[in-house]
Amino acid sequence: MILLDTVTFLWIITGSKKLSQKGVELYLNKENKIYLSSISFWEIIVKYNLGRLPLPDKPTKYIPTQRKLHGVESLPLEESDVAELEKLTKIHNDPFDHMLICQAKARNLTILTPDKLIHSYSVKATW
């Protein structure tokens, strides 16, 4: 089961060439369940509202539509995910990444991300 980092999801829905070959293979493999966290949805809305992420429509409409079009399931945040924060070593200061890492750890997911800092944590991550 694969948890998409926010940037990975954005690259998938825009057809970006920045997505790694392994990432493309994992995403296209029908045996993999692919998730987008509600944390990523939150991050996208925050960046959109700050004017740092242009989108063709409001994120509350655009992201769920794109998620469904690309066969990506929504992953809500649970208390058990948040509880992982107690054990998380802070290698960097991105709260969105911290919660994605915690979700992946709590649910035994692999994060698909180009972010080298996420790969530094004790979490399953690939690129």
pLDDT at res. 90: 86
Note the pLDDT of residue 92.
Answer: 87
- Note the pTM of the prediction, 2 decimals: 0.95
Whole-angstrom distance, CA of residue 119 vs CA of residue 96 = 15
Taking the CA atoms of residue 59, residue 64, residue 44 and residue 55 in that order, the dihedral angle to the nearest 10 degrees is: -40
Q: Which residues contact 90 (CB under 8 A, 6 or more apart)?
A: 98
Q: What is the pLDDT of residues 51-75, one digit of tens each?
A: 999 999 999 999 999 999 999 999 9
**Paired strand residues for 74:** 36
Domain boundaries defined on the chain: 2-118
Q: Stretch 62-90: mean pLDDT, rounded?
A: 97
CATH of domain 2-118: 3.40.50.1010
